[in-house]
Amino acid sequence: MQQGLLPLFPLQLVLLPGAELPLHIFEDRYKEMIGEVIRERLEFGVVLANEKGIVNTGCTATVDRVVRRYPDGRMDIVTRGRRRFEIVLLNDERSFLRGSVEFFDDESSAPISPEIHKRAIEGYNALQALASHHPLDSASEHDPQLSFRLAEPVADLTFRQILLSTRSEAERMKQIADFMPGFLARQRRIQHVKEVAPRNGHGRGFSGLE
């Protein structure tokens, strides 16, 4: 198990356990960090960065594969979310940020009601259909952390961060079941605007939207 300080990669995204995350590494400090991660087969922490700094809860990632290396040291890599953690202390002694962290997992094993389970999966499948993607395969329906899989296509960073911090699968499934209808409605409006916009005028957009 990895000991000591965890290398941190602040990004404008929320990585969830099990999710795939492609990254293009181009800054010198992150070339150094990822190079070390690959050589020593370490985890690194992905944390959401916003206007206030970085959030306290993140998810580790490991490098699944290096897709391409460039002559100047840049890299295209594919990573995958692993473990959740909370930052206890930040350390800036190196070119990249590191942190002393505490790892955590779910604390509650409350049962998930069949109705919530059904609504959450239906919301996910509707969102997948909107993007012309495949619905959830039946083999995944009994994943003990299915909520993270269902949240993968949801782009709302605030919602993803809440899920990442929640320590109960039953609570996360309820949050997804309640969140999906409104999110789907917004996504359908966005898609409708994209479909209608090219037919209005000469590609300069159109009036009538607030």
Supply the mean pLDDT for the chain.
91
Q: Are 46 and 58 in contact (CB under 8 A)?
A: yes
Q: Work out the average pLDDT over 119-144.
A: 93
Note whether 86 and 47 are within 8 A (CB). Answer: no
- Rounded percentage of the chain residues whose pLDDT exceeds 90: 82
Mean of pLDDT values over 17-29? 97
Global pTM value: 0.88
Q: Which of 140, 137, 147 is nearest to 179 (CA)?
A: 147
Q: Is the dihedral of CA 123, 86, 94, 37 positive or negative?
A: negative
Segment 94-111 shows an average pLDDT of: 93
pLDDT beyond 50 at 172: yes
Three-state secondary structure call for residue 128:
helix
Does the pLDDT at position 59 exceed 90? yes
Contact between residue 80 and residue 43 where contact means Cβ atoms under 8 Å apart: no
Q: Which domains does the chain have, with CATH numbers?
A: 6-104 (2.30.130.40), 114-197 (no CATH)
* Helix, strand or coil, per DSSP, at residue 1: coil
Q: Which residue has the higher pLDDT, 24 or 108?
A: 24
Average pLDDT over residues 26-50: 97
